[in-house]
Amino acid sequence: MSDSPVVELIDVQKWYGAFHVLKDVSLSVAKGEKVVVCGPSGSGKSTMIRCINRLEEHQGGRIVVNGVELADDLKAIELIRRDVGMVFQSFNLFPHLTVLENLTLAPLWVKRVPKREAEAIAMQYLERVRIPEQAHKYPGQLSGGQQQRVAIARALCLKPSIMLFDEPTSALDPEMVKEVLDVMIELAGEGMTMICVTHEMGFARAVADKMVFMAEGRVVEVATPAQFFTNPKSERTRQFQGQIIGH
Amino acid sequence: MNPAPDDQTRRATAASEIEEPSSAQTPERAPPASQLRLLGWARKNLFGSLPNTILTLLAFWLLWEILPPLVRWGLVDAVFSPAGGAASCREATGACWALMGEKNRLMLFGVYPYDQHWRPALATALVIGLLATSAVRSLWGRWLIWAWAVCLAVVGILMWGGVLGLAYVETAQWGGLPLTLGLAILGIVLAFPLSILLALGRRSDLPAIRALSVGYIELVRGVPLVSVLFMASVMFPLFLPEGVSIDKLLRALVGITLFTAAYLAEAVRGGLQAIPRGQEEAADALGLTYWQKMRMVVLPQALRLVIPPIVNQFISCFKDTSLVTIVGLYDLLAATKAALADPDWRPFFVEGYIAAALVYWSFCFFMSRYSQWLERELAKGSRR
């Protein structure tokens, strides 16, 4: 792990109307680090992760990704988005395109990769998420787990250096959670920088270098998984753990 | 896990109503065969209840009253051969289809020079032929754009003339079906991209663009097409510097285009609003630019959803071209009217208008059926 952070949030503020969703949020992620963000719903964790690739605009503080500060410069934002892959809770595959077309769209148009090459890259990633045989189907013909794996492959096709996961398994049927987590664990093993909003504590234990606990728009606790699960510092964290582990 | 044998028997006796699902016990069965033959169908659907029976009898009576006289008028007693002239029509009690034999060229081509009618005829045939070709999905491709470009050039040469030994015919003499088709097709083709820009503008984050789009759409939708055409043909030239004049046909075309675009824009906006937010977010997250996102992710889905209202607008535009008659252009309907100005044939105006209506109807019906087919075709495979 190198020293300079690849993603850095410094005192980030955001409001939805009058509602203060992010309060002094600071976070620093080093290259290759796996950060798992958890917290009760409405705690601002999704908003925080969506600020990193500017799907949401922050209104105060600074966000620096790969040394580039996120501001109103559209070109800079497009460059950052190429280098930051994102996986959504609801997959958000393009239903009018086949799986292969979903995967090659951005390489073809954003990176101007030749078609043949883009398809080769796409097939390579489909094999990594273990569904190369679905390449010519439409997303609507796949199961939820398969769709989410396609979505991961789609993000990887731009060869990003950072991957954001926004509750990637929350919309899945229980029996499909594992196939998606397996792909994510494999990706973590390859040294990808990952920021995951998730409630999958088993996954967190397995891959996280750093746990971030958020509540009411604030970062309440940042700890190693060992500390986080055995000896959390804050009362709020303990309460949350009681709720999600107890069930 | 295997439950103990006594456990199994206890369950079977205690809850006999809960059957174990077993594929061996319930073989697949064919759906029940329909018992309804013609009589059964009639009893169920036509005479199922007292109100139904009354409605059925009423409908039969109406058909009995209307159909035989209609057939007698339209077919049995009708005059088809134009040989006897208008006189033979006046003697007959039926329809005078001879009118079409006599006046078809005036109705179809208006005041276009008579000996040159082969030119608009060929142009119309070319356009209809290419329309039919473009409708076939297996023929879709980049070549069609070129084919249309060439076709438009050829049609232009045929209609205007002035080159290749063809006599020059000014647009004021154009008329009939070619004029109607030209205004409708060009109006639709030009209005469609404009409407997409307007719809996107209305949803833009930039206040100036949004205000401009909303203002335009609401202004144009608030006035009737007749007044737009009037503005284009009477008021607009007043604002031009002296000596500059813009072709009347072109002004009418621009009027129709601007008018249709405003309505189409609202149909397109409906489609845009139906696309989930996540689609745009996914495109953004992949680093697509705004126009790439719209062209490849949002619009293909949005337009597919609103094919019915869009085609509705196309059909409406096609029929609205008949309003250009108020600015002195001879479209199909106006040409029909002109053909009926002949005192000998004037009594048979009903037949004339029926013929014109049939032409309008067949184009609109084609559009309607084609859009239904297109919807099914594009929905293949990509259903959510």
- What is the C-alpha to C-alpha distance for residues A242 and B317, in angstroms, rounded to an integer? 65
Burial of B153 (0-12, 13-18, 19+ CB in 10 A): exposed
**B382 interaction partners in chain A (CB closer than 8 Å):** 95-97, 138, 140
Q: Which ipTM was obtained for this model? A: 0.91
Least confident of B101-110, B172-181, B234-243, B346-355: B234-243
Residue B225 lies in a domain: yes
Subunit contact B282:A92, Cβ cutoff 8 A: yes
Provide the number of structural domains found in chain A.
Answer: 1
Provide the number of structural domains found in chain B.
Answer: 2
The reply to whether B224 and B258 lie within a common domain is yes
The reply to whether B151 and B225 lie within a common domain is no
pLDDT computed for residue B80 by the predictor: 82
What residue type is assigned to position B336 of the chain?
T
Q: Are strands A218-223 and A60-65 parallel, antiparallel or unpaired?
A: unpaired
Better-predicted residue by pLDDT, B89 or B67: B67
Residues of B with CB under 8 A from a CB of A: 276, 278-279, 281-289, 292, 296-297, 300-301, 304, 381-384
The reply to whether B351 and B216 lie within a common domain is yes
The reply to whether B196 and B344 lie within a common domain is yes
Q: Answer yes or no: is pLDDT of B24 > 60.
A: no
pLDDT computed for residue A1 by the predictor: 45
The reply to whether B290 and B149 lie within a common domain is no
Q: Which of A95, A99, A100, A113 is nearest to A158 (CA)?
A: A113
pLDDT computed for residue B1 by the predictor: 43
Cβ neighbour number for residue B51 with a 10 Å cutoff: 8
Residue B43 lies in a domain: no
**A65 interaction partners in chain B (CB closer than 8 Å):** none
Residue B369 lies in a domain: yes
Which structure tokens are listed for B128? Answer: 């209809």
Subunit contact B384:A140, Cβ cutoff 8 A: yes
pLDDT classification of B241: cutoffs 50, 70, 90: confident
pLDDT computed for residue B20 by the predictor: 57
Subunit contact A96:B304, Cβ cutoff 8 A: yes
Query: Among residues B104, B136, B168, which one ends one of the domains?
Result: B168
Give the best residue of B286, B292, B377, B383 to mutate against chain A (max A CB count within 10 A). B286
- What is the C-alpha to C-alpha distance for residues B28 and B26, in angstroms, rounded to an integer? 6
Provide block-wise average pLDDT over 10 residues at a time, chain A (247 residues).
78 92 92 92 91 91 90 85 93 93 94 94 93 92 93 94 93 90 91 92 91 92 89 85 69
**Beta carbon pairs, A and B, within 8 Å:** 70
pLDDT computed for residue B283 by the predictor: 94
Could you read off the pLDDT of B150-185 as tens digits, one per residue? 998 888 888 888 888 788 888 888 888 888 888 899
- What is the C-alpha to C-alpha distance for residues B118 and B239, in angstroms, rounded to an integer? 38
pLDDT classification of B37: cutoffs 50, 70, 90: confident
Residue B231 lies in a domain: yes
Q: What is the mean pLDDT of chain B?
A: 84
The reply to whether B250 and B321 lie within a common domain is yes
Subunit contact A94:B288, Cβ cutoff 8 A: no
With vertex at residue B62, the alpha carbon angle to CA B60 and CA B63, rounded to the nearest 5 degrees, is 65
Residue B77 lies in a domain: no
**B288 interaction partners in chain A (CB closer than 8 Å):** 105-106, 109-110
Residue range of the domain that includes B282: 177-375
What is each CA distance from B84 to B88, B89, B90, B343, in whole angstroms?
5, 8, 10, 16
- What is the C-alpha to C-alpha distance for residues B294 and B272, in angstroms, rounded to an integer? 10
Better-predicted residue by pLDDT, A138 or B2: A138
The reply to whether B236 and B371 lie within a common domain is yes
CB A144 within 8 A of CB A128: no
Better-predicted residue by pLDDT, B6 or A43: A43
Burial of A147 (0-12, 13-18, 19+ CB in 10 A): buried
Q: Give the closest-approach CA distance of B299 to chain A in angstroms.
A: 11
- What is the C-alpha to C-alpha distance for residues B86 and B90, in angstroms, rounded to an integer? 6
Cβ neighbour number for residue A234 with a 10 Å cutoff: 13
Say whether B331 sits in a helix, a strand or coil.
strand
pLDDT computed for residue B384 by the predictor: 44
Subunit contact B286:A155, Cβ cutoff 8 A: yes
The reply to whether B149 and B231 lie within a common domain is no
Residue B45 lies in a domain: no
CB B335 within 8 A of CB B109: yes
Residue B123 lies in a domain: yes
Which structure tokens are listed for A184? Answer: 């994510």
- What is the C-alpha to C-alpha distance for residues B173 and A78, in angstroms, rounded to an integer? 55
Residue B17 lies in a domain: no
pLDDT computed for residue B270 by the predictor: 93
Residue range of the domain that includes A204: 5-246
**B381 interaction partners in chain A (CB closer than 8 Å):** 137-138, 141
Q: What CATH number is given to the structural domain containing A175? A: 3.40.50.300
Query: Who's near A194: CB < 8 A, 6+ residues apart?
Result: A33, A34, A35, A162, A163, A164, A165, A184, A187, A188, A207
Q: Give the closest-approach CA distance of A202 to chain B in angstroms.
A: 27
Query: Who's near A229: CB < 8 A, 6+ residues apart?
Result: A201, A205, A241
